[in-house]
């Protein structure tokens, strides 16, 4: 009997296993399906924690709705009735000691009309005049492989980019705009410049595409963990081994000897390697393979939730959170007003906020050495400074995601291809999977799990 081993019980591994099991059931095939997960629970970066009256997502908090709504998965998992959507609300940028609204008609902070530029409270009159250059210049030198930062600064001016666009865009794409290319972020901007003569006009003409609408993100009434629980319940023909860390993989003719932390060995014909690159790189003793792995980079993030026994109507403004523009005013990069954005996270409407501390922030060097209590203290200072709220917290959750945020560098597609080729030639039967390579969003991971299972099923 053939054995397929999925290593890692995050969303990618679960999705792969679910697809394998579907095939096993439909074809009534005698195949052994095993999933090994190092932790005592499944889910990886999806982890819902209930504290007091609050639902806290220590990792991912939601799923881009449009990427899930056309798939049958949510209904198949029996979660159709549990879906909840984010409340819509305006976002702010915290700068010069104040919360300032991100102009309404903007795409990632880039004005999508001249009115939007005119009304911005984030940019000075000089900054607005500088941005008008976009209307009367043509692009002669920039290509999609140039940095999006220089492209935007060239046509829209430094001030608009620094004060309004960069805080939003570099948050979304986790990196400095000078390090990110147009190709990996917003490649259509260069087409707009060509077609409409102006980035702003191009965005205005294509406004419909960027309309978020009411239901942009979804979760479940008991948190994203419901997705993980539902997969686990459905996986009734797979052996799910928790607290089981894979420590080593050795090739043995056409199969693999997989060594576990409990001294057991699994003999597998196929392996789905759905663990982060940092965990995978040490499993196979092969210096050439390690070299390929060394091209991948990750950054870190600390998430701090704080719940209070005061209503969230105490927030200073109506909205769903802010991004911090300047590194010298607050230690956090951003703050989500969770109980506002996600009604289901706070039973009685008491205030729950989440602060994000990223390794790109100059304070991170000292923050990463702090214990949870000290980090909570930093978060309370930031909350006091930015929101004027001084109440005593009744719940908190600090999570260090050290080296757990994949950076898709310019070289990423090439690095993935090189690693895939090396695996296929020297270790056929091991399938690379997961957020380190094929997209970080949950829908991408789900699809990648399905694709990984299908690669195996094609050859089995």
Residues of this chain that bind ligand FAD (CB under 6 A):
7-13, 36-39, 44-46, 59-63, 245-246, 274-276, 279, 301, 303, 401, 404-405, 434-435, 440-442, 445
Least distance (Å) from ligand FAD to the CB of residue 331? Answer: 17
Least distance (Å) from ligand FAD to the CB of residue 387? Answer: 21
Q: Which is nearer to ligand FAD, 30 or 40 (CB)?
A: 40
Least distance (Å) from ligand FAD to the CB of residue 396? Answer: 16
What contacts 62, CB < 8 A, 6 or more positions away? Answer: 86, 217, 218, 219, 224, 342
C-alpha gyration radius of the chain: 24
Q: Which is nearer to ligand FAD, 204 or 397 (CB)?
A: 397
Least distance (Å) from ligand FAD to the CB of residue 345? Answer: 13
Q: Which is nearer to ligand FAD, 11 or 123 (CB)?
A: 11
Q: Which is nearer to ligand FAD, 44 or 149 (CB)?
A: 44
Q: Which is nearer to ligand FAD, 428 or 441 (CB)?
A: 441
Q: Which is nearer to ligand FAD, 116 or 274 (CB)?
A: 274
Least distance (Å) from ligand FAD to the CB of residue 56? Answer: 12
Least distance (Å) from ligand FAD to the CB of residue 284? Answer: 12
Q: Which is nearer to ligand FAD, 196 or 401 (CB)?
A: 401
Least distance (Å) from ligand FAD to the CB of residue 280? Answer: 8
């Amino acid at each position: 009997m053939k054995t397929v081993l999925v290593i890692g019980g995050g969303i990618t591994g679960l999705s792969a296993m679910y697809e394998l099991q579907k095939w096993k059931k439909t074809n009534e095939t005698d195949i052994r399906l095993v999933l090994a997960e190092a932790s005592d629970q499944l889910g990886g970066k999806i982890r819902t924690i209930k504290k007091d009256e609050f639902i806290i997502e220590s990792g991912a908090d939601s799923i881009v709705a449009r990427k899930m709504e056309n798939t049958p998965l949510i209904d198949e998992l029996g979660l159709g009735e549990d879906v909840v959507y984010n409340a819509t609300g305006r976002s702010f940028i915290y700068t010069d000691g104040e919360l300032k609204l991100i102009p309404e008609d903007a795409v990632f902070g880039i004005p999508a009309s001249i009115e939007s530029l005119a009304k911005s409270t984030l940019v000075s009159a000089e900054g607005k005049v500088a941005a008008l250059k976009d209307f009367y210049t043509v692009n002669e030198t920039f290509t999609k492989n140039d940095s999006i930062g220089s492209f935007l600064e060239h046509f829209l001016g430094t001030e608009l980019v620094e004060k309004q666009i960069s805080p939003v865009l570099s948050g979304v794409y986790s990196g400095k705009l000078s390090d990110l290319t147009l190709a990996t972020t917003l490649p259509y901007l260069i087409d707009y410049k060509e077609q409409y003569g102006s980035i702003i006009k191009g965005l205005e003409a294509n406004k419909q595409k960027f309309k978020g609408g009411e239901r942009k993100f979804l979760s479940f009434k008991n948190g994203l963990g419901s997705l993980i629980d539902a997969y686990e319940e459905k996986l009734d023909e797979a052996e799910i081994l928790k607290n089981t860390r894979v420590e080593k993989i050795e090739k043995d003719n056409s199969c693999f000897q997989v060594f576990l932390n409990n001294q057991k060995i699994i003999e597998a014909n196929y392996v789905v390697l759905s663990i982060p690159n940092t965990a995978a790189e040490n499993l196979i003793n092969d210096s050439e393979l390690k070299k390929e792995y060394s091209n991948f980079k990750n950054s870190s993030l600390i998430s701090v939730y704080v719940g209070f026994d005061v209503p969230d109507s105490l927030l200073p403004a109506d909205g769903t959170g802010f991004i911090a523009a300047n590194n010298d005013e607050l230690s956090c990069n951003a703050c989500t007003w969770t109980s506002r954005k996600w009604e289901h996270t706070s039973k009685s409407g008491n205030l729950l906020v989440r602060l994000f501390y990223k390794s790109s922030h100059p304070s991170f060097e000292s923050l990463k050495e702090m214990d949870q209590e000290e980090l909570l203290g930093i978060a309370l200072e930031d909350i006091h400074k930015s929101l004027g709220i001084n109440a005593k917290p009744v719940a908190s959750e600090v999570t260090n995601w050290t080296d757990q945020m994949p950076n898709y560098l310019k070289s990423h597609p090439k690095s993935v291809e090189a690693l895939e080729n090396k695996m296929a030639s020297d270790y056929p039967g091991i399938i690379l999977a997961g957020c380190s390579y094929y997209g970080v969003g949950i829908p991408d991971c789900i699809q990648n799990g399905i694709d990984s299972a299908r690669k195996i099923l094609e050859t089995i």
